[in-house]
Structure 1
């Protein structure tokens, strides 16, 4: 099989099965695992898959920059945001992560809701300017422009001085095996720091993120309280997560 044919075969497998196991593909095609891994490296370099130990997973479309992400699945994000906003109770304190889905949550909060919002996202703080009953605390630090959030040592230290009832966590990839992932190591560390300061953590994930993966793991499923998604509840990935004990809150 020519290299171009192997490439097409790998992409078809990824689309059909949702993952590639290098050892299985090598046996199927009668080639070495090194050849399969080399093909996967080439595909990953083009942004067509996310390499993981033993193979590859679909790459998340949510790793593009902040401006471009605003046009990705806006309807799904609004549906997820509507359910997430309903978890914020009057008088409660919520940590709102950065990202376009979290921004949709800020817009979905009732304007007359009396609550405290802690965020490391300047766009979210600005979006809450017209919520007169919302007390807003912004965590400072180095601005990670790709996602319009603060991160780094100063931001992580600031996070240690807050606590909340709820953390609404944004990620770029949701997968039963790869877990909850994002595209930047410091961003992932900041998300972990924020999750550690909340009683409950719910994951915000519009449908295009389900079954995909990015480079850096954020949290194990055991440290979350549930997943909010507009993906069809009968999707195989969601069914597997439910079997593994993950609470899935539908946002259809």
Structure 2
């Protein structure tokens, strides 16, 4: 079998099973594990999968920067954001992550709601300037321009006196065994810190982020008490998450 054919088969198995193991592939294709690992490295370099110990997972396609993601509005994104906004109660303190869905979330907040929003996203904060009942606390730090959020030691230190009711987290990968992940190391640290300062964490995830992984792990799937997904998300994608004990909310 040609290398290109073997790679195509690997991707087909990955799509079917949601993961591949180097040992099983080497036995199936009757080649060495070194050969399979080389195939996986090359496929990973093309962004076609995410390597993990012993094999690979589907790679998350959600890697575009904020400027490219912002114009992409959809009814499904608004539905996810509206479901998240509906979880915020009167007088609560909530942490809102950065990202386009997070911005849509704060746009969906009722005008009569009185609450406090803590965010490390300047864009989220600006969206709330004209909201009469929302107190806004902005976490300062180094601006990560790709996602337009603050990160780093100063941002994490600023969280030290905050105890929130819920953190609405954006991710680029949600996987039953690989957990929650994102495409930048400092963002992963920041998201983990934000989750540590909230009583519960709710993940906002479009279908293309489910059963996928990115380079940097935020934490175990159990970090999330609930995951809000599009109503049309295939049940085959969400069933492993529910089996792991996470509540899946379809919006």
TM-score by length of 1: 0.95
Contact 1:169 1:202 (8 Å CA) reproduced? yes
Query: By how many angstroms is 1:234 displaced?
Result: 5.6
1:204 maps to 204
Contact 1:160 1:193 (8 Å CA) reproduced? no
- In structure 2, do the counterparts of structure 1 residues 150 and 109 end up closer, same or farther at CA, with 3 Å as the change threshold? same
Unaligned runs of 5+ in 1: none
2:249 maps to 249
1:56 maps to 56
Counterpart-to-counterpart distance in 2, 1:4 and 1:128: 51
Contact 2:227 2:247 (8 Å CA) reproduced? yes
CA offsets, 1:130-157, max 9 Å, x none? 2121111100000001111000000000
Counterpart-to-counterpart distance in 2, 1:82 and 1:212: 24
Query: By how many angstroms is 1:71 displaced?
Result: 4.8
Unaligned runs of 5+ in 2: none
**Partner SS state of residue 160, structure 1:** coil
Contact 1:76 1:207 (8 Å CA) reproduced? no
Q: Does 1:20 pair with 2:20? A: yes
Deviates more, 1:134-143 or 1:10-19: 10-19
1:110 maps to 110
1:90-109 paired onto structure 2 within 5 Å: 90-109=90-109
Counterpart-to-counterpart distance in 2, 1:245 and 1:153: 32
2:238 maps to 238
Moved >6 Å (runs of 4+): none
Deviates more, 1:95-104 or 1:12-21: 12-21
1:157-168 paired onto structure 2 within 5 Å: 157-168=157-168
2:45 maps to 45
Query: By how many angstroms is 1:16 displaced?
Result: 2.1
1:1-252 paired onto structure 2 within 5 Å: 1-71=1-71, 74-230=74-230, 232=232, 235-251=235-251
**Partner SS state of residue 228, structure 1:** strand
CA offsets, 1:71-115, max 9 Å, x none? 557332211111100011111111001112211111111233211
